[in-house]
């Protein structure tokens, strides 16, 4: 690592917004609107946040007015019951998420710009998007799809996925999607729960220069999900795929072309009508089928994209994602305020890690969303994105795992000096962030700028007391409109309750460690159920990873604490860079960095080299299931192999457990 990247201290000031940057932000526009229309004046972000989580009914009602939400019937009240679970929002209102999307249509201007390993850079105008969505919606209705029916998609992050979702939601049907890199057991475990009538698929995809045929997988999905009435197939890998083994199939072009010219109709649905179903990772059991509503997501995504990401008309918004991760839903949400959304399907490291930076140059990207792991990979590969033309780039967002201080410093040293870098953390559970960015606040190394508006985020100690400048359990103490309506097939609400509310009655426990500072910034320290307690000192795994992966030659790592279960102690598994050999020097460097950056108590007792770290389909490290395997929990109860992106990586740990 170079000088600044290596030496930066946590909390170091790296960037401050200029006065013009602040004044041109959507957040300041909203604050000015509050002053003018509601006689509410706030001197700083922290006072605005405090009001938003204290007077929550007033806050969410001002968003309804500020964003000029269209509803065919008036709401009776903002919030009927402030308790959790069970809060009811904007009862009586009838609206449609997609109607808001096309309120911003701008004719021939770009709505979507996309690229994949199979397709060159392509653009789609708002007019073309509208025509195709209307035609697809007409096709769904002609197929007998009604309000409340489920439509599912096994499709990459390409324009057709956005078209199909918008069409589905426009008629009040319920959407759900999986990426085609998911295996059939994983897809079936998700889709079968919600009994879909329509399945949208591709014949295959290309990733990292390799082709993956998916026709056999689609056949397996069809056979397992008996509720399916029709499958719409998009030839993506091959122009004329062999699909004779599939049943009740219609090709995408045939399905949509017959209805081109159809007029648009937006089904007016209740505020809490299901919009889509998202899924938990399902690493240890059946994935939770999380249902979220039209109105709650509409308000939350307008807030998130406009006030916290500062997306405006003319922006070009990108986040690297697949259709199997909630960030895909956030990207689609960029259309709500007239931004152009940028879609990429493929391996971000193929043929090298310059690929996405080149995509940023080609598309004149203004907001670049990625993951902490991608930024760390760029550091380890010693690339310099600054040699691309990134003059349009205004902001970078990072999520998926905590971004360490050296990740922040690298962005300012090797990407762009004048840039708003936001680290964000939230969850599939609300399809948004709890903590993230604000364009009027400074950026400090290793810190998340703020708790987001309307999100009453606190850190609780063991006794349920809120703590500041100490690590605590991340909780939400007031309801939010995008919280799940329910889990599918959880009629008693028992699984929903046990997922969030069984530790602190009436308080949402999210499962992360957080430190809220006295200045209002935050730090996330990893999952609370995988925290390492050594000699009474608790340490989030993210802090250890930051130290370990800062060692030259270390590409990735996984830490498992068996101190309380076995005599094995604290185990560290590392993945080395290609061409690097584990030696005494690396061993000593790792232990020294952990000793200095974390604590002497968290120095690993044993270091082992592995080929790759087991990760979920969404890229999260598999800490708790691996710990269960190592302490002897039966494999089928410890982990759901189908929920992993690299299931073969488990073999190493199974051998240790059996040996």
Contacts 24+ apart (CB under 8 A), 501-509: 501/84, 501/85, 503/473, 504/460, 504/464, 504/475, 506/83, 506/84, 507/84, 507/460, 507/464, 507/475, 507/476, 507/477, 508/84, 508/475, 508/476, 508/477, 508/483, 509/460, 509/473, 509/474, 509/475
Residue 290, pLDDT above cutoff 80 = yes
Across the range 39-68, mean pLDDT stands at 98
Q: For residue 309, give Cα distances in angstroms to 226, 472, 481.
A: 42, 26, 19
Residues 330 and 478 in one domain: yes
Token pair listed for 201 = 């698929």
Taking the C-alpha atoms of residue 247 and residue 269, their distance in angstroms, rounded to an integer, is 32
Is 47 domain-assigned? no
C-alpha 483/C-alpha 292 separation (Å) is: 7
Whether residues 445 and 549 share a domain: the answer is no
Structure tokens at 45: 């972000």
For residue 244, the SS3 value is coil
Nearest residue to 452 via CA among 308, 300, 295: 308
565: confidence class by pLDDT, cuts 50, 70, 90:
low
pLDDT at position 425 over 80: yes
Mean pLDDT of 61-71: 98
Q: Give domain status of residue 183, yes or no.
A: yes
Count how many Cα atoms sit within 13 Å of the Cα of residue 455 in the half-sphere of its side chain: 30
Question: How crowded is residue 80: how many other Cβ atoms within 10 Å of its Cβ?
Answer: 13
Please check whether residue 201 lies inside any domain of the structure.
yes
Residue 543 confidence (pLDDT): 74
- What is the mean predicted confidence (pLDDT) over 582-594? 92
CA distances from 550 to 12, 74, 148, 404 (A): 18, 55, 49, 10
Of 138, 391, 169, 114, nearest to 260 (Cα)? 138
At 284, is the pLDDT very low, low, confident or very high (cuts 50, 70, 90)? low
Q: Are residues 212 and 335 in the same domain?
A: yes
Please say which residue of 516, 544, 565 terminates a domain: 516
66 in Cβ contact with 35 (< 8 Å):
no
CA 186, 191, 197, 199 dihedral sign is: negative
Helix axes 56-66, 26-38, angle to 10 degrees: 110
381 shares its domain with 452: yes
- The Cα–Cα gap between 151 and 165 comes to 9
Name the residue range of residue 585's domain: 530-658
Least confident segment among 224-228, 382-386, 578-582, 642-646: 642-646
CB 364 within 8 A of CB 392: yes
Instruction: Examine the pLDDT at 27 and tell me if it is beyond 80.
Output: yes
Is 123 a member of any domain? yes
Which H, E and C letters describe 302-340, residue by residue?
Answer: HHHHHHHCCCCCCCEEEECCCCCCHHHHHHHHHHHHCCE
pLDDT at 3: 46
Residue 563 pLDDT > 80: no
CATH code (residue 601):
3.30.300.30
Q: What percent of the chain has pLDDT over 70?
A: 96
Q: What is the pTM of this model?
A: 0.87
Residue carrying the six token digits 């008693």: 492
Same domain, 228 and 305: yes
Among 61-75, 372-386, 585-599, the range of highest mean pLDDT:
61-75
525 located within any domain: no
> What local confidence, expressed as pLDDT, does residue 567 receive?
57
Q: Is residue 262 part of a domain?
A: yes
Q: Is 277 within 8 Å of 194 (Cβ atoms)? A: yes
How many angstroms separate the CA atoms of 271 and 284, rounded? 33
**Which pLDDT band, with edges at 50, 70 and 90, does 435 fall under?**
very high
CB atoms within 10 A of CB 270: 17
- If you average pLDDT over residues 481-505, what whole number do you get? 94
What is residue 73's DSSP assignment?
A: B
Of 144, 154, 96, 107, which is closest to residue 129 (Cα–Cα)? 107
The pLDDT, as a whole number, for residue 538 is 60
- Decide: residue 195, CB within 10 A, 0-12 exposed, 13-18 middle, 19+ buried: middle
**Degrees to nearest 5, angle at CA 375 with 321 and 427:** 45
* Inside any domain, residue 391: yes
HEC per residue, 126-184? HHHHHHHHHHHHHHHHHCCCCCCCEEEEECCCCHHHHHHHHHHHHCCCEEEEECCCCCH
For residues 267-287, average pLDDT: 88
Q: Residue range 71-90: average pLDDT?
A: 95
In whole numbers, what is the pLDDT of the chain averaged over residues? 93
Give the whole-angstrom CA distance, residue 457 versus residue 211.
Answer: 44
Q: Are residues 371 and 500 in the same domain?
A: yes
Say whether pLDDT at 1 is over 50. Answer: no
Among the three residues 516, 542, 558, which one is the final residue of a domain in this structure?
516
Is the bond preceding residue 351 a cis peptide, omega within 30 degrees? yes
Same domain, yes or no, for 283 and 429?
yes
Phi, psi of 608 (to 5 degrees): -125, 145
In whole angstroms, what is the distance from residue 446 CA to residue 425 CA?
13
Instruction: Mark whether 150 and 297 lie in a shared domain.
Output: yes
- The answer to whether residues 87 and 483 touch, using CB atoms and an 8 Å cutoff, is yes
Same domain, 578 and 460: no
pLDDT, residue 2, reads: 45
Q: Which of 516, 548, 578 is the last residue of a domain?
A: 516
Cβ proximity of 313 and 324 under 8 Å:
no
Residues 127 and 271 in one domain: yes
Query: pLDDT of 205-251, one tens digit each?
Result: 999 999 999 999 999 999 999 999 999 999 999 999 999 999 999 99
Provide mean pLDDT across the span 148-154.
Answer: 98
Q: What is the pLDDT of residues 503-552, one digit of tens each?
A: 998 999 998 889 999 999 999 887 776 667 665 566 668 778 888 988 99
Q: Is residue 16 part of a domain?
A: no
Question: For the chain, how many structural domains are there in total?
Answer: 2
Distance CA(478)–CA(343), nearest Å, equals: 34
- 190-209: average pLDDT: 97
In this structure, are 507 and 552 located in the same domain? no
Cβ of 189: how many Cβ atoms within 10 Å?
22
- pLDDT band at 6; cut points 50, 70, 90: low
- CATH number of the domain residue 259 falls in: 3.40.50.12780
Cβ neighbours around 614 below 10 Å, total: 27
User: Do both 157 and 194 map to the same domain?
Assistant: yes
């Amino acid at each position: 690592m170079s000088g600044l990247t290596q030496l930066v201290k946590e909390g170091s000031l790296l960037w401050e917004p200029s006065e013009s940057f602040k004044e041109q932000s959507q957040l300041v526009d909203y604050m000015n609107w509050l002053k003018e229309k509601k006689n509410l004046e706030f001197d700083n972000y922290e006072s605005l946040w405090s009001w938003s989580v204290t007077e929550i009914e007033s806050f969410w009602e001002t968003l309804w007015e500020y964003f000029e939400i269209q509803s065919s019937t008036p709401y009776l009240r903002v919030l009927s019951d402030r308790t959790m679970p069970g809060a009811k929002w904007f009862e009586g209102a009838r609206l449609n998420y997609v109607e808001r999307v096309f309120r911003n249509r701008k004719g021939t201007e770009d709505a979507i710009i996309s690229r994949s390993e199979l397709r060159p850079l392509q653009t789609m105008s708002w007019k073309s998007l509208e025509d195709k969505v209307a035609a697809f919606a007409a096709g769904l209705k002609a197929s007998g799809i009604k309000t409340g029916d489920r439509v599912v998609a096994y499709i990459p992050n390409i324009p057709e996925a956005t078209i199909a979702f918008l069409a589905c939601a426009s008629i009040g049907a319920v959407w759900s999607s999986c990426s085609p890199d998911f295996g059939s057991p994983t897809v079936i475990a998700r889709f079968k729960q919600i009994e879909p009538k329509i399945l949208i698929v591709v014949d295959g995809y290309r990733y990292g220069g390799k082709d993956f045929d998916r026709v056999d997988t689609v056949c397996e999905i069809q056979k397992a999900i008996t509720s399916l009435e029709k499958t719409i197939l998009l030839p993506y890998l091959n122009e004329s795929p062999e699909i004779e083994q599939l049943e009740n199939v219609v090709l995408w072009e045939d399905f949509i072309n017959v209805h081109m010219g159809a007029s648009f109709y937006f089904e007016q649905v209740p505020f809490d009508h299901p919009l889509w179903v998202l899924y938990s990772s399902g690493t240890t059991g059946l994935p939770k089928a999380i249902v979220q509503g039209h109105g709650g997501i509409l308000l939350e995504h307008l807030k998130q994209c406009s006030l916290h990401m500062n997306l405006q008309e003319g922006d070009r918004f990108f986040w690297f994602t697949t259709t199997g991760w909630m960030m895909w839903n956030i990207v689609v949400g960029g259309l709500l305020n007239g931004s152009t959304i940028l879609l990429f399907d493929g391996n971000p490291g193929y043929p090298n890690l310059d690929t996405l930076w080149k995509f940023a140059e080609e598309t004149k990207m203004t907001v670049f969303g990625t993951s902490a792991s991608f930024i760390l990979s760029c550091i380890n590969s010693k690339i310099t994105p600054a040699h691309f033309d990134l003059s349009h780039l205004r902001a970078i967002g990072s999520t998926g795992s905590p971004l360490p201080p050296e990740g922040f410093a690298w962005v300012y040293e090797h990407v762009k000096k004048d840039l708003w870098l936001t680290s964000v953390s939230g969850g599939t559970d609300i399809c948004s962030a709890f903590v993230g960015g604000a364009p009027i606040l400074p950026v400090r190394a290793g810190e998340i700028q703020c708790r987001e508006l309307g999100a009453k985020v606190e850190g609780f100690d063991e006794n349920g007391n809120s703590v500041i400048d100490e690590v605590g359990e991340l909780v939400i103490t007031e309801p939010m409109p995008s919280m799940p309506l329910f889990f599918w097939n959880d009629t008693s609400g028992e699984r929903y309750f046990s997922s969030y509310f069984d530790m602190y009655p009436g308080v949402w426990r999210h499962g992360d460690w957080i430190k809220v500072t006295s200045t209002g910034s935050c730090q996330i320290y990893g999952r609370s159920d995988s925290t390492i307690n050594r000699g009474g000192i608790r340490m989030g795994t993210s802090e250890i990873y930051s130290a370990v992966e800062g060692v030259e030659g270390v590409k990735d790592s996984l830490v498992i604490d068996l101190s309380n279960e076995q005599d094995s102690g604290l185990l560290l598994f590392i993945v080395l860079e290609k061409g690097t050999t584990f030696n005494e020097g690396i061993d000593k460097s790792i232990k020294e960095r952990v000793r200095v950056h974390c604590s002497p108590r968290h120095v690993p007792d044993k270091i082992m080299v592995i080929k790759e770290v087991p990760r979920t389909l969404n890229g999260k490290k598999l800490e708790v299931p691996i710990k269960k395997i190592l302490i002897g929990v039966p494999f089928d109860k410890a982990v759901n192999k189908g929920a992993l992106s690299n299931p073969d990586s488990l073999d190493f740990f199974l051998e240790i457990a059996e040996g």
